[in-house]
Structure 1
């Protein structure tokens, strides 16, 4: 679902002499959550939600139409996850702010690497979210200090991209042959990637390796 900005027949500019409101695109597949966030932001005189989408693969088109200043992205969305969308928006003039329930240290590193300007938990207060929007619009960054500390303690993701692909596929419970076929790899190569991922995570098996990697935000 997308709500586009008013047409030219219905001007929405701020009164002459007043600052232009910060235009926000909100992407979240949880309808009640998205609508609640939009309602809370509507009370901020300098923030205007100009578009809403419920899928990650709708964000680029919505951004092209609505021309937002800030894009709020959930991570877990159908179509395309928020971290991938953030990378897609790297060259877009809007600033990206990740808004999620998943406060995993690895997600923070991946979000910042993808070009996001901030990472805010959904349990943040409405005034804190509004302040984060203003800060990233002004060119700053916003990171929860507790999450930043956990990210520093955890360190970089030790898994390669291909190890992540194989481990992610393995969480579905398929056989080695299934995983290899789906990723166009040989079964021997697939076993090697899984073995390496298990060793790097300190797990006992691929299921545990997948759980550890997901909890740390590496997948």
Structure 2
């Protein structure tokens, strides 16, 4: 019984190692930017595995992409949020902008961008064809919104405006990061300061406004 139990634990460890190797291989392949890298079979071959191994570990390609997204989210962790009572609004906004500016150039971010570009852009179609992947992406949006709400919860800001800001910041930062990658004629330090200033002006004391 002991020998059988030991063998079972070893087999389980091998399975976990195979799963982790496949997820890391997926990130490496997807981060290359090659559209052809968005292939579970190709990624499996990168570590000498088979499509059968993918199905055993993840069920199907939808399960595989959902697991890749979950893996990158675990590696990234939550957005660091400082809510010190004496931390000014400007510093909180600037911290979010700079965190995204650095994070969006990581290999995990490049992998995610390549994967999302290959998936259906229509939300309904994505949910129909890749329900587990769509569900994982949906949790990202919820987590991001919650992080932004926590970042400003103790300040005099309007909750609706915080949600609006949370909705546009990722796209705005992807645009600035794209400018850096393509080679911009603009001062991107100035661009980030301008975005920070605009957000601060929009949020500052907005909690006092009277809704019509």
TM-score (norm 2): 0.31
- TM (normalized to structure 1)? 0.31
Choose 1 or 2 for highest CA Rg. Answer: 2
Q: Which has the higher helix share?
A: 2
